[in-house]
Chain A
Amino acid sequence: MTATATKPASDAVRSKPSAGPDRSAGRRRSSTIIVTSLLVVVALYFLIPVYWVFVASTKSTADLFSTNGFWFAPTFSLWENIGRVVSYDNGIFGRWFLNSAIYAGVGALLATYFAAAGGYALAKYEFRGRNLVFGTILGGVLVPGTATALPLFLLFSQMGLANTYWSVLLPSLVSPFGLFLCRIYAQATVDTSLIEAARIDGAGELRIFHTIGLKVLTPALVTVFLFQLVGIWNNYFLPLVMLSDSELYPITLGLNNWLSQVDRLPEFYELTTGGVLLSIIPLSIAMIVLQRFWRGGLTEGAVK
């Protein structure tokens, strides 16, 4: 209860205070215990697999099958395992990691910029064909990525783009949902009179977008960037269809490649669990740290 009692002070700073404190008045201790223990049980469900992979990657292959899966084996071989993951096949794991980082980082950054420019244009200019353009893009929000991946492969193979970095990067640069969000946000927040003032001062249209537009849109841009980053990082179908050269694989494809070999070589269990552990660390940290940024943007998408 003390924790919730201190909340109003910090919440008052925000524009939309959480409704929590207002309902806390008549709450009894028993309901706190029941609700919190339910939440703990569900948290166990979400966290135990992650805990298991950590425990598993501290074991040797023999211990992995002979000792209790939820507790550490007498010999702690985490660093050995990680060393093997990193050094296997001339450090191919590092290569996959870097590829994922390039696809997700570059893709999300450019996709956010393009979505911002497009969303801003659709929100702040009146021009012929605007509704047609917006309607078409909105339809794109509903088209799932896996539906376009196969025909995109046919298209890219004819253009000679299949099995290159571009084949994964180019589709990652488009975020119809991001544009949709940016348009809503630009309509609500970018002040038309500010744009007018900048025009009277003689600023060019593109300069106005880069100085005023991008600045005002920043909160929405963070959300779009995160969505796209996670989307590309998690993507599997597109790279699977596009890439045949394992040097170009992102981490998802690479680890699945290792998993498919466990039947023949049990040592791949160790490589795969170690690789899984290494691959979930960066994005898990990002999820927890950046969690508060997701909130604001998600509401924009959900409410309107």
Chain B
Amino acid sequence: MTTTRTAPTVQRPATASLSGKQNKQAGKRNGAAARAPWVLLAPFLALFVLTFLLPIVVAIMSSFTKVTRSGLFGEAGVSSEFAGFSNYAQALSDGSFVASIGRMLLFGVVQVPVMIVLCTALALMLESASAKWPGFFRAAYFLPYGVPGVIATILWSFLYVPGLSPLFDVAKVVGLTPDFLGANSVLWSIANIVTWSYTGYNMLIIVAQLKAIPVELYEAAKVDGASTWRVARSIQLPLIRPALMLTTVFSIIGTLQLFAEAQVVKTVAPAIDSQYTPNLSAYTTAFAYNDYNVAAAQSVIIAVAAFALSFAFLALTNRKSS
């Protein structure tokens, strides 16, 4: 990578017009060439500042602000003042919000490993010579990724509703009476939707990395008489580690951000309240209680928790490997 970093502008013959000042300052560097990267970056940077940096600054600032409305309906004016950590204290003393984070941790501890194991197994099977029609299966598994999370949830929530869903007819034949939307089971019904949506996508990332393994390694293993299991364990799994880490980190972040699935299932499942997931909680705080400052504090807590968990996972796996 370092070889490509050699500055093209330095080698450039100074043919175009050079302003005196810049000439003195930057030697051979030419005005147009020095401006070019910034011109190219400008549209991206402007939008990045507007839609990433500013909102983050706004979120952090408003999470430390307390807005007081005077008068019965706030008609006598609004004043805001620095509030220290009081919004954070309020967010963290809200039992439902803390419970929603705990719920997502439980969700993640079960769903993320299940999904990663499933997509790794699928990728290994598809890339093994034993699989027939790998193209068809790959497309079939990847298809749900093209179904928006909300639509997938609407789809599955119909399949969870007794009377509408054929799953209950099937279950009756086997002698089961499932309750997909009960207080204890609905979390796993949501986990099923998430698994259905993202397994194919994660599988494709792993397949891509499997395809990048040099053929010589397989040939060497074959010469040594290694079995399929042995090849998977000693060659494939170690070499797809970066892809596994990537998909796991993105899944951890995604789990804490869970929103659409819970919000949509809520319409058919009374067991889900308006603070079922951390994000749903922040949304409710902002738009139902109109308390944007506490909502901002909740958003910051969610983001920090996602970062902390991702880094903890990376640190843990790195220590194990070394």
Contact = CB atoms under 8 A, between A and B. Distances in A.
Interface residues of A, number: 118
Contacts of B154: 255-256, 259, 272, 276
Contacts of A174: 44, 47-48, 51-52
A241 B209 CA distance: 37
A299 B130 contact: no
A216 B252 CA distance: 35
B267 A260 contact: yes
A291 B131 contact: no
B146 A47 contact: no
A87 interface: no
B103 interface: no
Interface in B2-59: 4-13, 32-41, 43-45, 47-48, 50-56, 58-59
A74 interface: no
A114 interface: yes
B108 interface: no
B48 A204 contact: no
B179 interface: no
B171 interface: no
Contacts of B158: 52-53, 56, 269, 272-273
In the complex, which of the residues A187, A209, A276 has the most CB atoms of chain B within 10 Å of its own CB atom? A276
Nearest to B243: A302
* A42, A136, A170, A179: residue with the most chain B Cβ atoms closer than 10 Å: A42
Chain B interface size, as a band, is 35 or more
Contacts of B147: 50, 280, 283-284
Interface in B95-135: 118, 122, 125-134
Interface of A: 3-4, 16-27, 31-32, 34-36, 38-39, 42-43, 45-47, 49-50, 52-53, 56, 64-65, 68-70, 114-115, 117-118, 120-127, 130, 133, 136-137, 140, 142-148, 150-152, 154-155, 170-171, 173-174, 176, 179, 187-188, 192, 195-196, 199-200, 204-206, 209, 230, 233-237, 241, 251-253, 255-256, 259-260, 262-263, 269, 272-273, 276, 279-280, 283-284, 286-288, 291, 294-296, 298-299, 301-303
